[in-house]
Structure 1
């Protein structure tokens, strides 16, 4: 079934077409939302909001871009709004979900202590990277996440963000520089303590 047929069926209020639409694009939207929130439950909630918004505005879709591009734009906007509205809560929930896995206690051995030390380093690096990304201005964060986590081309990011390809290149370049700067700042700060 083509995207045109799906949209036509949804406009005709055929629920089966909307279910097919959601099934087809749900993982794309969910992954995008997750890369912004770093929390599965929040990403699932935002994903539902994205599809509600898509359903409510589908009649306005004109096929000037791909449906995936349109959904990315809605997902990015909903995710950024969520972050803005829940900035402090999001950081704490992200860390909580990151550390609240169902791990059983095993008495440590020399090998597990070495593995744990390595895992701690990896965890700290991941947290540092996430924090550095979260400190980016919204436009840099959006371009960086879409390119590096969603593997979207510069051209499609430009369409999603409604900017030029050159602007996308600049945003991603500045995002990388700012991430490096934020991580180095954190390293220097921790060494001075």
Structure 2
């Protein structure tokens, strides 16, 4: 009989075996363990709380439906991050498509304003004192290329190693290093005026 509690956690292989066997308690444990990480990662990428909630639900639905196909060539967390980032990017593409449609419609005189703007949201784990800085950072991140944004999020916010990110994005470690380097260059360029302004007396 499969049981668990807060102090006893299954080894990953055993958890995966229980998931593949369709054990609902194992699935609940997976959700309870990883739902915050999945939600927070999606939130940084899409920067819309409701959308991040939808993505998190989609991630766990996909895990439930496809865990039988998981070949365990990567860690369970790597697989979860891969699904999360993939779904977050899909949501961004749909949003950009809607934005283009709205813009084109407005050219023909229909009163249909473009609703997308850099978001104003409260990210979990960010203190009130840091909210202004984080909002500025997230707006700057929103201008990064998608792969740069994901690499930056996974490394600096989720604290994953270059190797782990390479496995998630299915690229080389050197490619991840390049993505992070370009992301930092772009962010430095965008954020320098903000910090210079804050330094003024």
TM range (shorter): 0.7 to 0.9
Residue in structure 2 matched with residue 135 of structure 1 by the alignment? 143
1:37 touches 1:90 (CA, 8 Å); kept in 2? no
Residue in structure 2 matched with residue 161 of structure 1 by the alignment? 169
Deviations 1:47-86 (A, max 9, x none): 0100011111111212211100110010111111112212
Offset of residue 36 of structure 1: 1.3
The TM-score, its normalising length taken from structure 2, stands at: 0.72
Residue in structure 2 matched with residue 24 of structure 1 by the alignment? 33
The TM-score, its normalising length taken from structure 1, stands at: 0.75
Residue in structure 2 matched with residue 66 of structure 1 by the alignment? 75
Structure 2 CA distance for aligned equivalents of residues 38 and 174 of structure 1? 21
Structure 1 stretch displaced more, 33-42 or 71-80:
33-42
Offset of residue 8 of structure 1: 1.9
**Within 5 A, what are the aligned runs for 1:174-189?**
174-183=182-191
Offset of residue 134 of structure 1: 0.7
Structure 1 CA distance for aligned equivalents of residues 176 and 115 of structure 2? 26
Change (3 A) 1:135 1:63: same
Change (3 A) 1:59 1:90: farther
Structure 1 CA distance for aligned equivalents of residues 158 and 131 of structure 2? 22
Offset of residue 7 of structure 1: 2.1
1:39 touches 1:93 (CA, 8 Å); kept in 2? no
SS in 1 for 2:74: coil
Matched residue count: 165
1:94 counterpart = 2:119: yes
Deviations 1:2-32 (A, max 9, x none): 2222222222222112111211221221221
Change (3 A) 1:25 1:64: same
Structure 2 CA distance for aligned equivalents of residues 55 and 122 of structure 1? 35
Structure 1 CA distance for aligned equivalents of residues 53 and 134 of structure 2? 22
1:171 counterpart = 2:179: yes
User: What residue ranges of structure 2 are gaps of 5+ in the alignment?
Assistant: 1-9, 100-113, 123-128, 196-201
User: What residue ranges of structure 1 are gaps of 5+ in the alignment?
Assistant: 99-118, 188-193
Q: 2:43 aligns with which of 18, 34, 39?
A: 34
Q: 2:22 aligns with which of 13, 16, 26?
A: 13
